């Protein structure tokens, strides 16, 4: 089979493309390399260096079996300064991928984000996790909103594509991590890269606010596994699907786990609370489990051990 992976040279894209090639498929990568660089080479891999919103789709000749639309800047310090780096690929790029999927009669998986839920604060969400049917609570026109707004608009475009008979779904990812992340780009909203960057410089781990906000972290290979299962799912997919690890922990506890794993004697530095930061963000993955039977394999402690070993190696 042949698949198009936009943003295929990025963090998730590299791991996904590697898996597709290992499974014997052909892959076309489209990536503008704003925050990535070309990596793997393979006889079944073609690469186009271009913005996805202006991608010349006539390059895709013949059959196409699916599109995984990952292309988007995900570094807050960059998209807060240059909002078009998320607006263009997630809005205009998504419409272009919908048109191509319609032409090729293939499945389109749009990688959305838990950011679409905003700072949801209901007791139900805190207790049971956020489900695909929960409401979003979001401020307007803040430095944080270009990303979440662009992802929501991308979901609307995929929804419209579905109403016109297309085969598509939005995958709402919750904090995917692993080796290959850009540890050097730290700042607002990137907790594990922030910690890795601080450790490399012998600095205290930066924690925004009191550190009692909770998050969940999904190992990259677990994320790729479920994306592949959904890509090959034989029936119609739901409109939106949460993808994440259901185990949550506080940022303070994460920091202590990192310090223990690295054997570091640096401390923790508490900084000002980030605006509109959600207190809890844990996915309800009931729908995903019902569809695929998928459960994550790698817990956070094991993931941190693997990152540590990878950095030392």
Cβ 251 vs Cβ 117: under 8 Å: no
The residue among 80, 65, 296 whose CA lies nearest residue 188 is: 80
Nearest to 199 by CA among 257, 249, 248, 247: 257
Element (H, E) at 257: helix 251-262
Given the residues 3, 147, 177, 208, select the one marked as catalytic: 147
- Look at strands 176-177 and 168-173 and give their pairing: unpaired
* Whole-number Cα distances in Å, 210 to 39, 190, 206, 280, 281: 39, 16, 11, 13, 16
Q: At what angle do helices 251-262 and 191-200 cross, to 10 degrees?
A: 40
Q: How far is the C-alpha of 295 from the C-alpha of 114, rounded, in Å?
A: 18
- Active site annotation includes 147: yes
Measured between alpha carbons, how far is 154 from 93 in angstroms, rounded to an integer?
9
Cα 257 from Cα 260, distance rounded (Å): 5
**What whole-number distance in Å separates Cα of residue 169 and Cα of residue 36?**
25
Q: By residue range, what is the domain housing residue 257?
A: 2-312
pTM of the model: 0.93
Q: Provide the number of structural domains found in the chain.
A: 1
The whole-number pLDDT of residue 122 equals: 54
Query: Is 217 within 8 Å of 253 (Cβ atoms)?
Result: no
Q: Render each residue's pLDDT in the chain as its tens digit; 313 residues.
A: 999 999 999 999 999 999 999 999 999 999 999 888 888 899 999 999 999 999 998 889 899 999 999 999 877 777 778 889 999 999 999 999 999 999 999 999 999 999 899 876 555 556 678 889 888 877 788 777 889 999 999 999 999 999 999 999 999 999 999 988 876 554 555 789 889 989 989 999 999 899 998 999 999 999 999 999 999 999 999 999 999 999 999 999 999 999 999 999 999 999 988 776 778 889 999 999 999 999 999 999 999 999 999 876 5
CATH number at residue 135: 3.40.50.720
Give the C-alpha separation, 42 to 24, whole Å.
11
And the tokens for 38? 């070309």
Strands (E), the chain: 2-6, 26-30, 45-48, 66-69, 107-113, 168-173, 176-177, 205-208, 214-215, 218-219, 240-243, 249-250, 268-271
- Report the distance separating Cα 53 and Cα 30, nearest Å: 10
């Amino acid at each position: 089979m042949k698949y198009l992976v936009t943003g295929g040279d990025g963090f998730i894209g590299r791991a996904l493309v590697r898996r597709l090639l290992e499974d014997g498929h052909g892959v076309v990568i489209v990536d503008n390399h704003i925050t990535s660089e070309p990596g793997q080479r393979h006889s079944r891999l073609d690469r186009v260096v271009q913005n996805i919103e202006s991608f010349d789709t006539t390059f895709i000749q013949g059959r196409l079996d699916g599109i995984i639309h990952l292309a988007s800047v995900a570094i807050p310090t960059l998209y807060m300064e240059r909002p078009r780096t998320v607006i263009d690929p997630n809005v205009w790029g998504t419409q272009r991928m919908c048109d191509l999927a319609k032409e090729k009669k293939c499945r389109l998986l749009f990688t959305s984000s838990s950011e679409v839920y905003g700072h949801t604060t209901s007791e139900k969400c805190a207790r049971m996790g956020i489900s695909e049917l929960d409401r979003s609570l979001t401020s307007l026109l803040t430095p944080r909103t270009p990303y979440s707004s662009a992802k929501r608009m991308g979901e609307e475009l995929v929804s419209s594509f579905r109403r016109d008979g297309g085969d598509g779904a939005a995958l709402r990812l919750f904090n995917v991590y692993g080796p290959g992340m850009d540890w050097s780009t730290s700042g607002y909203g990137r907790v594990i890269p922030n910690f890795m960057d601080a450790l490399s410089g012998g600095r205290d781990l930066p924690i925004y606010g009191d550190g009692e906000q909770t998050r969940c972290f999904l190992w990259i290979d677990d994320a790729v596994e479920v994306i592949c299962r959904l890509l090959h799912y034989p029936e119609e997919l739901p409109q939106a699907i949460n993808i994440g690890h259901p185990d949550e922990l506080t940022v303070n506890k994460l920091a202590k786990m990192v310090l223990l794993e690295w054997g570091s004697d640096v401390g923790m530095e508490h900084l000002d609370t980030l605006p509109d930061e959600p207190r809890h963000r844990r996915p309800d993955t009931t729908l995903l489990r019902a569809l695929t039977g998928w459960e994550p394999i790698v817990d956070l402690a094991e993931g941190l051990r693997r990152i540590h070993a990878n950095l030392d190696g």
